[in-house]
Amino acid sequence: MTNIALAATVTTGEAVTFWILAPLALLGAIGMVVARNAVHSALWLVLTMLCLGVFYVVQAGPFIGMVQIIVYTGAIMMLFLFVLMLVGRDASDSLIETLRGQRVAAVLVGLGFAGLVGTLVARAVGDTTAVGLEAANQNGNVQGIAALLFTNYVFAFEATSALLITAAVGAMVLAHIHKPKSERLGQPETMRLRFRPGNYPAPKPGPGVYATSDSVATPGRLPDGTLTQRSVPEILPTRELSPRETAPKGTEK
């Protein structure tokens, strides 16, 4: 593992990578905050995280870089996207401010804070040469992290188990609804409910596919020719078609 970039100086390749990816990372971060749709926000964040992962690898931290990409971007963000999709696509932020002028103030203060931290770090490390990288990666990057985890930070490492247990218990407490056995429905009751008057026991019809429209929002036709709203998924907003959309498209001849 001695082929990890050991020198403290910045090579051309590193500089080029940085100047390509840094604006992208910034763009992703800004996009995440600005995007109205939660799914778009999450995707912007993925971009930033991927760029950061590459930065870590370039800066001789391959382990943390890979963890960033595999665990954060790969697992956690995808899980996040799954949740967003499950919750529903109309979960976009409302733009009504509960506190007047909050957004402007937040932008100003945020810019001020970024400027403060940016200049602080720039002034502090601008003319400093990095030290300690060779010593840290002496026996290999992963081995170095393992050595720290199982010596100096072994108690902290073990204490994280408390965090994991708490998280599991918390998820149970906040999300699980226990139904007593008496409230669970058996097979006969389920069947009776299914065939009770007023319920539609068969699978729902598929959406209509026509020459003029193949949208899932278009109702399908029943065998007798009537349209059925049953084929339109409930989460779709009802939408009035504009005159242009309902006008003949010249395909009827």
Partner 1 sequence: MTIKFPDIDYAAIAPLLIMFGVAALGVLVEAFVPKRARHLTQLVLALAGLVAALVVLVTQAETRVVTAGGAIAVDGPALFLQGSIIVLAIMAVLLIGERSLEKGGPFVAQAAITVGSEDDRRQAARADGATEVYPLATFAIFGMMLFVSANDLLTMFIALEVLSLPLYLMCALARRRRLVSQEAALKYFMLGAYASAFFLFGVALVYGFTASVQAAPGRMAGGVDFATIHAAATQSPANRALLFGGLAMIAIGLLFKAAAAPFHVWTPDVYQGAPTAVTGFMAACTKVAAFGALLRVLYVAFDGARWDFTPVLGAIAILTMLVGAVLSVTQTDLKRLLAYSSIANAGYLLVGVLAGVREGISSTMFYLVAYGFTVIAAFAVVTLVRDADGEATHLSRWAGLGRRSPVFAGVFTFILLAFAGIPLTSGFISKFAVFGAALDGGQTWLVIAGVITSMVLAFPYLRVVVMMWLSEPGESTPTIAVPGALTAAALVIGVAATLVLGVAPAPLLNLSDTAGQFIR
Least CB distance to partner 1 at residue 146 (A): 7
Of 86, 162, 202, 235, the residue at the interface with partner 1 (CB under 8 A) is 162
**Residue 163 in contact with partner 1, rule: CB under 8 A:** yes
Of 135, 202, 211, 235, the residue at the interface with partner 1 (CB under 8 A) is 135
Least CB distance to partner 1 at residue 125 (A): 7
Q: Which is nearer to partner 1, 67 or 216 (CB)?
A: 67
Tokens coding 246: 């309902």
Q: Is the dihedral angle over the CA atoms 236, 240, 245, 248 positive or is it negative?
A: positive
Q: Which is nearer to partner 1, 91 or 167 (CB)?
A: 167
**Residue 244 in contact with partner 1, rule: CB under 8 A:** no
**Residue 177 in contact with partner 1, rule: CB under 8 A:** yes
Of 30, 111, 169, 193, the residue at the interface with partner 1 (CB under 8 A) is 169
Site for partner 1 in 85-124 (CB under 8 A): 117, 120-121, 123-124
Of 150, 193, 210, 247, the residue at the interface with partner 1 (CB under 8 A) is 150
Q: Which is nearer to partner 1, 178 or 239 (CB)?
A: 178
Give whole-number Cα distances, 141 to 9, 24, 61, 138, in Å.
Answer: 19, 27, 7, 8
Q: Which is nearer to partner 1, 14 or 134 (CB)?
A: 134
**Residue 184 in contact with partner 1, rule: CB under 8 A:** no
Tell me which residues touch partner 1 (CB under 8 A): 117, 120-121, 123-125, 128, 130-132, 135, 139-140, 143, 146-147, 150-156, 159-160, 162-163, 165-167, 169-170, 172-178
